[in-house]
Structure 1
Amino acid sequence: MSAATACMPLVPPPPSSPIHGSTGKPAMAATELAERRKPGGMETTITESHGSEERRAEGNGDGEVKMSEPRAVVRTLTCERKPYVEGFALWRSIGRPELPELDPILSLDEFEFSAPAAFPDHPHRGFENVTYMLEGGVSYHDFSGHKGTINAGDVQWLTAGRGVVHAEVPAGNGVQRGINIWVNLSASDKMVEPRYQDLASNGIPTAATGGGGVSVKVIAGECLGARSPLRPRTPALCLDVALRPGARLRQPVPRGWSACAYVIGGEAVFGDASAGARTLVVFGGDGDVIDVRAEAAGAVAGARVMLVAARPHGEAVVRDGPFVMNTREEVEQAREDFRRRRNGFEMADGWTSDHAATAAER
Structure 2
Amino acid sequence: MLHITDTPWPATPRSVEQLIIGHPTSDGAGVKLTRVLTQNLQRRLDPYLMLDAFGSDNPDDYIAGFPEHPHRGFETITYMLSGCMLHRDSAGHEGLLQSGDVQWMTAGSGVMHSEIPQQKDGVMEGFQLWLNLPSTEKMCTPWYKDFSNQALPRYQTTAGAAVTVIAGNSHGVTGAVVRASTQALYLDVHLPAGAAFAHPLPAEHNAFVYVYRGQVTIAGQAVPTQRMAILDNMPGTDGVLIEASEDAQLLLIAGRPLNEPIVQYGPVVMNTQQEIRQALSDIHAGRFGSISAA
Question: What is the alpha-carbon distance in structure 2 between the residues aligned to residue 164 and residue 275 of structure 1?
Answer: 37
SS in 2 for 1:189: coil
Whether the 8 Å CA contact 1:88–1:112 is kept in 2: the answer is: no
So what's the TM-score if we normalise by structure 2?
Answer: 0.88
Q: Which runs of 5+ in 2 are unaligned?
A: none
Identical residues among aligned pairs (%): 37
Over 3 Å off, 4+ runs: 43-47, 80-87, 112-116
Q: List per-residue Cα deviations over 1:150-197 (Å, max 9, x = no partner).
A: 111111111111111111111212241111111111111111111212
Aligned-residue Cα RMSD (Å) equals 2.3
Question: What is the alpha-carbon distance in structure 2 between the residues aligned to residue 326 and residue 318 of structure 1?
Answer: 5
In structure 1, the residue matched to 2:171 is 224
Residues 45 and 208 of structure 1: CA distance in aligned 2, closer, same or farther (over 3 Å):
closer
Measure how far apart 1:347 and its partner are: 4.8
Q: Which runs of 5+ in 1 are unaligned?
A: 1-42, 48-54, 57-68, 296-300, 349-362
| Aligned partner of 1:293 among 238, 243, 253 | 243
Q: List per-residue Cα deviations over 1:292-314 (Å, max 9, x = no partner).
A: 0101xxxxx31101000111110
Which amino acid in the other structure matches residue 77 of structure 1?
I
Bigger proportion of residues as strand = 2
Q: Is 1:319 the counterpart of 2:269 in the alignment?
A: no
Q: List per-residue Cα deviations over 1:185-241 (Å, max 9, x = no partner).
A: 111111111121221100011111125x21001111122332113133632000000
Whether the 8 Å CA contact 1:208–1:224 is kept in 2: the answer is: no
Question: What is the alpha-carbon distance in structure 1 between the residues aligned to residue 117 and residue 239 of structure 2?
Answer: 37
Question: What is the alpha-carbon distance in structure 1 between the residues aligned to residue 93 and residue 211 of structure 2?
Answer: 32
Q: Is 1:306 the counterpart of 2:256 in the alignment?
A: no
| Aligned partner of 2:95 among 124, 132, 148 | 148
Residues 338 and 208 of structure 1: CA distance in aligned 2, closer, same or farther (over 3 Å):
same
Which amino acid in the other structure matches residue 290 of structure 1?
V
Give the total of aligned pairs.
279
Q: List per-residue Cα deviations over 1:230-276 (Å, max 9, x = no partner).
A: 13363200000000111001111233111001001100111111111
Greater gyration radius:
1
| Aligned partner of 1:259 among 182, 185, 207 | 207
Question: What is the alpha-carbon distance in structure 2 between the residues aligned to residue 223 and residue 177 of structure 1?
Answer: 25
Question: What is the alpha-carbon distance in structure 2 between the residues aligned to residue 182 and residue 75 of structure 1?
Answer: 21
Question: What is the alpha-carbon distance in structure 2 between the residues aligned to residue 111 and residue 94 of structure 1?
Answer: 13
Question: What is the alpha-carbon distance in structure 1 between the residues aligned to residue 187 and residue 275 of structure 2?
Answer: 33
Residues 244 and 327 of structure 1: CA distance in aligned 2, closer, same or farther (over 3 Å):
same
Whether the 8 Å CA contact 1:87–1:112 is kept in 2: the answer is: no
